[in-house]
Structure 1
Amino acid sequence: MSDLYRSRTMDQISEADIGEELKIAGWVENIRDHGGVSFIDLRDMYGVMQVVLRDTSLLDNVRKEECLSIEGLVQHRDEETYNPKIPTGTIELEAHKIDILGKVYRDLPFEIATSKEIREDVRLKYRYLDMRNRKVKDNILFRSKVTRFLRDKMEELGFIDIQTPILCASSPEGARDYVVPSRKYKGKFYALPQAPQQYKQLLMVSGIDKYYQIAPCFRDEDARADRSPGEFYQLDFEMAFATQEDVFKVGEEVLTAAFKEFAPKGSVVTEAPYPIYSYKEAMLQFGTDKPDLRNPLRIVDVTEFFQRCTFKPFHGQTVRAINVHAKLSKGQHEKLLKFAQSIGMGGLGYLEVKEEMKYKGPIDKFIPDDMKMELAELAGLSVGDTIFFIAAPEKAANLFAGQIRDELGQRLDLLEKNAYRFCYINDFPMYEIDEETGKLGFTHNPFSMPQGGLKALNEKDPLEILAYQYDIVCNGVELSSGAVRNHDMEIMEKAFEIAGYEKETLKEKFGALYNAFQFGAPPHAGMAPGLDRMIMLLRGEENIREVIAFPMSGTAQDLMCGAPNEITEQQLREVHIKVRD
Structure 2
Amino acid sequence: MYRSHSCGELNASHIGTSATLSGWVQKTRDKGFVVWVDIRDRYGITQLVFDEDRTATELLEKARNLGREFVIQAKGKVIERASKNNNILTGDIEVLVDELSILNKSRTPPFTIEDDTDGGEDLRMKYRYLDIRRKPVQNNLIFRSKVAIEVRKYLSDKGFIEVETPYLIKSTPEGARDFVVPSRMNEGQFYALPQSPQTFKQLLMVGGLDKYFQIVKCFRDEDLRADRQPEFTQIDCEMAFVEQEDILNAFEGLTKHLLKEIKGIDVDTFPRMTFDEAMAKYGNDKPDIRFGMEFGELNEVAQHKDFNVFNSAQLVVGIAVPGGNSYTRKEIDKLTDWVKRPQVGALGMVYCRCNEDGTFKSSVDKFYDQEDLAKWAAVTGAKSGDLICVLSGDTHKVRTQLSALRMELAERLGLRKSDEFAPLWVIDFPLLELDEETGHYHAMHHPFTSPKPGQLELLDSDPGAVRANAYDLVLNGNEIGGGSIRIHDKETQAIMFKHLGFTPEEAKAQFGFLMDAFQYGAPPHGGIAFGLDRLVAILGGQETIRDFIAFPKNNSGRDVMIDAPATIDEEQLKELNLKVDL
Check conservation: 2:418, 2:541, Cα contact below 8 A.
no
1:123 & 1:472 partners in 2: Cα distance? Answer: 33
Check conservation: 1:429, 1:464, Cα contact below 8 A.
yes
1:255 & 1:42 partners in 2: Cα distance? Answer: 39
What is the total number of aligned residue pairs between the two structures?
A: 570
Check conservation: 1:292, 1:474, Cα contact below 8 A.
yes
Letter of the aligned partner of 2:292 in structure 1? P
SS at match of 1:528: strand
| Residue equivalent to 1:341 | 340
Letter of the aligned partner of 1:96 in structure 2? D
Gaps of 5+ in 1: none
Give 2:68's match in structure 1, choosing from 43, 64, 68.
64
Q: What is the Cα deviation at residue 468 of structure 1?
A: 1.2
2:548 & 2:374 partners in 1: Cα distance? Answer: 51
| Residue equivalent to 2:105 | 103
Letter of the aligned partner of 1:331 in structure 2? K
| Residue equivalent to 2:143 | 142
Give 2:6's match in structure 1, choosing from 9, 27, 40.
9
Q: What is the Cα deviation at residue 187 of structure 1?
A: 0.6
2:382 & 2:567 partners in 1: Cα distance? Answer: 64
| Residue equivalent to 2:85 | 83
| Residue equivalent to 2:296 | 300
1:537-576 pair list within 5 angstroms: 537-576=538-577
SS at match of 2:37: strand
1:374 & 1:334 partners in 2: Cα distance? Answer: 24
Structure 1 residues 28 and 381 mapped into 2: Cα distance closer, same or farther (>3 Å)? closer
2:226 & 2:415 partners in 1: Cα distance? Answer: 23
Quick check: 1:247 aligned with 2:247? yes
Check conservation: 1:41, 1:51, Cα contact below 8 A.
yes
My pick for the range that moved more, 308-317 or 464-473, is 308-317
2:445 & 2:164 partners in 1: Cα distance? Answer: 25
1:297-446 pair list within 5 angstroms: 297-317=293-313, 318-326=315-323, 327=325, 328-342=327-341, 343-354=344-355, 357-367=358-368, 374-416=375-417, 418-446=419-447
Q: What is the Cα deviation at residue 16 of structure 1?
A: 2.4
1:170 & 1:23 partners in 2: Cα distance? Answer: 55
Letter of the aligned partner of 1:426 in structure 2? I
1:18 & 1:372 partners in 2: Cα distance? Answer: 74
Give 1:27's match in structure 2, choosing from 24, 27, 32.
24
Residues 537-568 of structure 1 deviation map (CA, whole Å, 9 limit, x = unaligned): 12223521111111112211111222112211
Letter of the aligned partner of 2:3 in structure 1? R
1:549 & 1:416 partners in 2: Cα distance? Answer: 26
Check conservation: 2:287, 2:474, Cα contact below 8 A.
yes
Quick check: 1:214 aligned with 2:211? no
TM-score, L = length of structure 2: 0.93
Check conservation: 1:58, 1:97, Cα contact below 8 A.
no
1:458 & 1:294 partners in 2: Cα distance? Answer: 37
My pick for the range that moved more, 417-426 or 378-387, is 378-387
Check conservation: 2:49, 2:97, Cα contact below 8 A.
yes
Q: What is the Cα deviation at residue 169 of structure 1?
A: 0.8
1:115-194 pair list within 5 angstroms: 116-194=117-195
SS at match of 2:526: strand
Letter of the aligned partner of 1:296 in structure 2? G
Give 2:95's match in structure 1, choosing from 93, 96, 101.
93
Structure 1 residues 68 and 374 mapped into 2: Cα distance closer, same or farther (>3 Å)? closer
Give structure 1 regions of 4+ aligned residues with deviation exceeding 6 angstroms: none
Check conservation: 2:111, 2:117, Cα contact below 8 A.
no
Check conservation: 1:453, 1:491, Cα contact below 8 A.
no
Check conservation: 2:319, 2:388, Cα contact below 8 A.
yes
Q: What is the Cα deviation at residue 571 of structure 1?
A: 1.3
2:389 & 2:266 partners in 1: Cα distance? Answer: 31
Check conservation: 1:497, 1:503, Cα contact below 8 A.
yes
| Residue equivalent to 2:278 | 282
Q: What is the Cα deviation at residue 415 of structure 1?
A: 3.6
Check conservation: 2:183, 2:190, Cα contact below 8 A.
yes
Check conservation: 1:27, 1:43, Cα contact below 8 A.
yes
Q: What is the Cα deviation at residue 162 of structure 1?
A: 0.7
Q: What is the Cα deviation at residue 295 of structure 1?
A: 2.4
Structure 1 residues 491 and 352 mapped into 2: Cα distance closer, same or farther (>3 Å)? same
Residues 490-528 of structure 1 deviation map (CA, whole Å, 9 limit, x = unaligned): 111111111111111111111221111111111111111
Residues 199-253 of structure 1 deviation map (CA, whole Å, 9 limit, x = unaligned): 001101111110001111111122211112x211111111101111111112211
Quick check: 1:46 aligned with 2:43? yes
Check conservation: 1:433, 1:441, Cα contact below 8 A.
yes
Q: What is the Cα deviation at residue 95 of structure 1?
A: 0.6
1:521 & 1:483 partners in 2: Cα distance? Answer: 16
| Residue equivalent to 2:257 | 257
SS at match of 1:400: helix
Check conservation: 1:295, 1:416, Cα contact below 8 A.
no
2:454 & 2:508 partners in 1: Cα distance? Answer: 21
1:94 & 1:357 partners in 2: Cα distance? Answer: 73
Check conservation: 1:269, 1:420, Cα contact below 8 A.
no
Gaps of 5+ in 2: none
Check conservation: 2:4, 2:19, Cα contact below 8 A.
yes
My pick for the range that moved more, 376-385 or 211-220, is 376-385
1:445 & 1:242 partners in 2: Cα distance? Answer: 19
Letter of the aligned partner of 1:306 in structure 2? A
My pick for the range that moved more, 5-14 or 492-501, is 5-14
1:76 & 1:356 partners in 2: Cα distance? Answer: 67
Check conservation: 1:425, 1:472, Cα contact below 8 A.
yes
1:424 & 1:432 partners in 2: Cα distance? Answer: 20
SS at match of 2:558: coil
Residues 66-116 of structure 1 deviation map (CA, whole Å, 9 limit, x = unaligned): 1111111111111xx111111111111111111111111x33211111575
RCO (CA 8 Å, sep 6+): is it higher in 1 or 2?
A: 1
Structure 1 vs Structure 2: percent identity of aligned residues?
40
Letter of the aligned partner of 1:389 in structure 2? V
1:208 & 1:111 partners in 2: Cα distance? Answer: 51
2:382 & 2:234 partners in 1: Cα distance? Answer: 43
1:333 & 1:269 partners in 2: Cα distance? Answer: 39
2:306 & 2:233 partners in 1: Cα distance? Answer: 54
SS at match of 1:401: helix
Structure 1 residues 115 and 416 mapped into 2: Cα distance closer, same or farther (>3 Å)? closer
My pick for the range that moved more, 28-37 or 295-304, is 295-304
Check conservation: 1:269, 1:419, Cα contact below 8 A.
no
TM-score, L = length of structure 1: 0.94
Q: What RMSD, in angstroms, separates the aligned Cα atoms of the two structures?
A: 2.0
Structure 1 residues 190 and 432 mapped into 2: Cα distance closer, same or farther (>3 Å)? same
Structure 1 residues 14 and 374 mapped into 2: Cα distance closer, same or farther (>3 Å)? closer
Letter of the aligned partner of 2:239 in structure 1? M
Q: What is the Cα deviation at residue 28 of structure 1?
A: 0.4
Structure 1 residues 361 and 568 mapped into 2: Cα distance closer, same or farther (>3 Å)? same
Structure 1 residues 129 and 414 mapped into 2: Cα distance closer, same or farther (>3 Å)? closer
2:411 & 2:311 partners in 1: Cα distance? Answer: 30
Q: What is the Cα deviation at residue 407 of structure 1?
A: 2.2
